[in-house]
A and B are shown apart, each in its own frame.
Chain A
Amino acid sequence: MKLPKDLRYTATHEWTRREPDGTVSVGITDHAQEQLGDVVFVEAPQAGRKVAAGESVGVVESVKAASDIYAPVAGEVVAVNGELSASPERVNEDAFAAWMYRIKPTNAADLDGLLDAAGYEKSAATD
């Protein structure tokens, strides 16, 4: 399983990366894209939207199935990766580069509550 050690993860298969400006990038894991198969549609939340931790905020659809994207922490959506609406296959090509949206966390410390690579690997193995 491809799992960068410097990222934090959710049990619902999102990865998160703390950016230098304090925002947090969110995408879906390599494991998730592999389960979904060819991704054909990504709908990220609109910039400006206030989201709660664990809230369903978007959708990623493959040829096979639709799957929700959840907010890893509470905060405000500040940017959306527009490239993915034209080229959703980027998610399959490199899931950890294909960030879907960025969030400004209400409380930066909330990120510490997310899973590390080993924790995610364990979680993903049991679902």
Chain B
Amino acid sequence: MLKTTPLNALHRAAGARMVDFGGWDMPVHYGSQIEEHHAVRRDAGLFDVAHMQVVDVQGPGARDFLRVALANNVDKLKVPGKALYSCMLTPEGGVVDDLIAYFFGEDSFRLVVNAGTAEKDLAWLAERLAASGAQARLTPRRELAIIAVQGPRARERFWHAFPEAKAATEPLAPFNAAMVGDMMVARTGYTGEEGFEVIVPGVRATATWEALVGAGARPAGLGARDTLRLEAGMNLYGQDMDEQVSPLDAGLAWTVDLASPRDFTGKAALQRDGQRQEFLGLVLTDAGGVLRAHQKVVAAGGEGEVTSGTFAPTLGKSIALARLPRGTQPGDTVKVMVRDKALAARVVKAPFVRHGKILVS
């Protein structure tokens, strides 16, 4: 039995093609994945991400607990509403999950974790919390739903639908959130475009979605979500990193705070192992196929592997994220094994696209 979000009936009524996405019945597209992708780059798209899990961390010691549980440093969070992207690590330095932590007060943090890993994450967090001795409580907020509205006109369309939220959300800087009544509005996303991620009570999800559609935002499925995040050079948990992969080998060194004296789970392993591979972008330059996860890459310094690959609608070319031998650099040419052919690809630094502009040639 697949799990459903509160928007399931709306997707079906809109003619979405539904797929089993890690146990959730989710829309992959509503007709054309490529058109939905372009809608987000050019105007505004709407994503049901209510399968993702909100977990509140509240009570005494919340910050101390997260300081140890997360690889990024929650001490960077000082202003209420500020968000931080981080990984949680195994003691061996592998990635348990990636998440966003929001700060609302010394005793009040909110985490948003991936859907497919939610149960594992909750168990892992509970175990860490018990070990830390902190009095804080973990509360999975299954009754909340997340809707993302993304694109150059996303905020404008959001304000058209929710004029009462404009005063509180117009001043928001990127990676900041505000509470508007029982709605949390965060200037975050997974597309490389402007926009908001909105957390509402599940019972209001349908009305929120319909208001945003009424304001001109176009429903977009998980297919477009994947091509958009890949163009934006953003990692996908389970593909670009997992428990066997160090964040340092997944392009996530910028999210790991090794500089502060604080200890965190996985720190010793990261310091011991250091970075062992490069994590870079590829642009396919030969015709002959599409880059896909698990394809073998042959570089001057040895072999690597594509971790995520697709056809990128904004570039009209195939692109990928790949783990490559140390020393491989942007500008290098590598070969990717696409079925029985070795196709040339250029190594580039991600992102490929940001705010509608192509950043790689």
Contacts and interface: CB of A to CB of B under 8 A. Distances in A.
Contacts of B290: 40-41, 61, 63, 66
25 contacts: A37-B28, A37-B29, A37-B32, A37-B33, A37-B223, A38-B32, A40-B290, A40-B318, A41-B289, A41-B290, A59-B289, A59-B339, A61-B289, A61-B311, A62-B311, A63-B223, A63-B227, A63-B290, A63-B313, A64-B33, A64-B223, A66-B289, A66-B339, A85-B287, A92-B32
Interface residues of A, number: 13
How big is the B interface, by class?
10 to 19
A41 B286 CA distance: 13
Contacts of B289: 41, 43, 59, 61, 66
Interface of A: 37-38, 40-41, 43, 59, 61-64, 66, 85, 92
The 6 closest A-B pairs by CB, nearest first: A40-B311, A38-B34, A61-B290, A63-B311, A38-B33, A63-B33
A31 to B, nearest CB: 13
A43 B289 CA distance: 8
A38 B316 CA distance: 13
Given A63-B33, A63-B223, A64-B33, A41 B292 contact: no
A89 B46 CA distance: 24
* B28, B287, B311: most-surrounded residue (chain A CB, <10 A): B311
B288 interface: yes
A37 B29 CA distance: 9
Given A38-B32, A66-B292, 6 more contacts: A37-B32, A40-B290, A41-B290, A61-B290, A61-B311, A62-B311
Interface string B289-315: 110100000000000000000110100
A61 B287 CA distance: 12
B27 to A, nearest CB: 12
A68 to B, nearest CB: 10
A41 B338 CA distance: 13
A64 B33 CA distance: 9
A43 B286 CA distance: 14
Contacts of A64: 28, 33, 223
Contacts of A92: 32
Contacts of B32: 37-38, 92
Nearest to B316: A40
Contacts of A66: 289-290, 292, 339
